[in-house]
Amino acid sequence: MISYYFKRAYDIIGSSFISINCVQRRLLLRAIDFQKLGRQYKATVEKQLASLTRHDEPETIYKPIRHVLSAGGKRFRSALVLLSCEAVGGKARDALGAAAAIELFHNFTLVHDDVMDHADMRRGLPTVHKRWNTNVAILAGDELAALAYRALLKSRTQRLQEVIHVFTEAFNQVCEGQALDQEFEGQTDIYLNDYLRMIGKKTGCLIVAALHIGALMGNATKREVATLCTYGEHLGRAFQIMDDLLDIIGDEREFGKTIGGDIREGKKTYMLIKALERAKGKDRLLLHLITAHHKATTAMVNRVRDIYHRYGIIDDAKREIARSTRRAQRALTPLKTSHAKDMLFWLSDQLLERTT
């Protein structure tokens, strides 16, 4: 895979670089090219975000907002906007406002999610409600959503009404998904289809919206829009299951959040649902106890991790991530060959090796 060759670049470049074959070398150089382009997209979006949030007053709103954005992040969703625009023949600069809008909206969801999940850390920094308070976090989150609409309304496109419709529908779906996530915490009879419906709203719909909006900014055909949205649906599933997985097996310093947070909050993740289907005896009793009372200790988190390994749940999750990623990549087939299409393929490939 391309990501493999990029990951191994530093081991290969040098005296051993000459020993790899021509195909591998082309893949390696292409991956390096993609990584460079990704950094350029991110830097451009960062400048746009800074210009949209440079206000000094009221400090109660804008200081926390700058705190949230200063933590960085991959700017993955904003990159999807720019790439989908280019993949249908548009120019990335025309979609920059929309890309910033998606990123602002994503950060709005994170600020409010952290309040509801009682999270202490986000991307290695204290969450807004921990550094300030809950009221400040609610206000800052609301303002991020308002700034997102402001950025979107400045977009130069004849299809602005369609863009606003897609964005607003995504807003609605994300709120519904978050509500389902909260409801599921208090229920024990949640099945895989329930979980997939929930993450399709909470996580998947914003990824789909990023691709849909980017396509509209590039004046895509209905077929091109459908193609990119299908890619986004599969990508969103892979992304969320990987997020669930990293919460239990990730490195806390790299992940930027407390490991085991989903277990402590009684979240119905892919692994927990699968484990409840298979676990027996004391293992099953422990899982039910944690989901019912939301009082898991560090020792309990470690026991749950052990259950996931013993019942093959970790491997199941990895296989599902790989399966959804392959489906996303196959969905891109109808698009015309382009650098943007290749990079969308590469970005999905990176999910298999993400650590944050």
Task: Give the span between the Cα atoms of 279 and 306, in whole angstroms.
Answer: 12
Domains of the chain, first to last: 2-353 (1.10.600.10)
Higher pLDDT, 13 or 333: 333
Q: What is the pTM of this model?
A: 0.89
Tens digit of each residue's pLDDT (9 = 90 or more) over 336-347: 999 899 999 999
The whole-number pLDDT of residue 67 equals: 92
Q: Which two tokens stand for residue 149?
A: 């609409």
DSSP-derived letter for residue 257 is S
Question: Cβ atoms within 10 A of the Cβ of 47, count?
Answer: 12
Tens digit of each residue's pLDDT (9 = 90 or more) over 243-257: 999 999 987 776 666
Task: Give the span between the Cα atoms of 261 and 296, in whole angstroms.
Answer: 9
The count of C-alpha atoms lying within 13 angstroms of the C-alpha of 272, restricted to the half-sphere facing its C-beta, is 30
The whole-number pLDDT of residue 342 equals: 92
The whole-number pLDDT of residue 59 equals: 92
CB 28 within 8 A of CB 1: no
Count Cβ neighbours within 10 Å for each residue of 182-218 and write b for 16 or more, e otherwise: eebbeeeebeeebbeebbbbbbbbbbbbbbbbbbbbb
The whole-number pLDDT of residue 292 equals: 79
Q: Give the confidence band of 3 by pLDDT, cuts at 50, 70, 90.
A: very low
CA 46 to each of CA 74, 87, 232, 243: distance values in angstroms, whole numbers, following the listed order = 11, 22, 23, 23
Task: Give the span between the Cα atoms of 225 and 244, in whole angstroms.
Answer: 28
CA 221 to each of CA 96, 216, 340: distance values in angstroms, whole numbers, following the listed order = 20, 8, 17
Q: Would you say residue 138 has pLDDT above 50?
A: yes
* Ranges 13-27, 31-45, 180-194, 198-212: which has the least confidence: 13-27
Q: What value does the mean pLDDT take over residues 272-289?
A: 93
Tens digit of each residue's pLDDT (9 = 90 or more) over 165-222: 999 999 999 999 999 999 998 787 889 999 999 999 999 999 999 999 999 999 999 9
The whole-number pLDDT of residue 173 equals: 98
The whole-number pLDDT of residue 113 equals: 92
Q: Give the confidence band of 26 by pLDDT, cuts at 50, 70, 90.
A: low
Task: Give the span between the Cα atoms of 336 and 90, in whole angstroms.
Answer: 13
Amino acid identity of residue 353, one-letter, is E
Q: Would you say residue 12 has pLDDT above 50?
A: no
Helices (H), the chain: 2-7, 9-12, 22-52, 59-70, 76-87, 96-117, 128-131, 134-153, 160-185, 192-199, 205-217, 222-249, 252-255, 261-264, 270-278, 281-293, 298-310, 313-331, 339-350
The whole-number pLDDT of residue 18 equals: 38
Task: Give the span between the Cα atoms of 236 and 203, in whole angstroms.
Answer: 6
Q: Give the confidence band of 272 by pLDDT, cuts at 50, 70, 90.
A: very high
Cis peptide before 334 (omega within 30 of 0): no
Q: What value does the mean pLDDT take over residues 71-88?
A: 93
The whole-number pLDDT of residue 118 equals: 87
Among 19, 221, 285, 256, residue whose Cα is nearest residue 114: 256
The whole-number pLDDT of residue 356 equals: 63
Q: What value does the mean pLDDT take over residues 226-253?
A: 93
DSSP string, 1-29: -HHHHHHTHHHHSSTTGGGS-HHHHHHHH
CB 239 within 8 A of CB 277: no
Amino acid identity of residue 135, one-letter, is N
Q: What value does the mean pLDDT take over residues 31-45?
A: 85
The whole-number pLDDT of residue 2 equals: 41
Amino acid identity of residue 278, one-letter, is R
Task: Give the span between the Cα atoms of 223 and 211, in whole angstroms.
Answer: 13
| CA angle 313–241–77, rounded 5-degree value | 165
The whole-number pLDDT of residue 19 equals: 43
What does the mean pLDDT of the chain come to? 88
Task: Give the span between the Cα atoms of 47 and 251, in whole angstroms.
Answer: 30
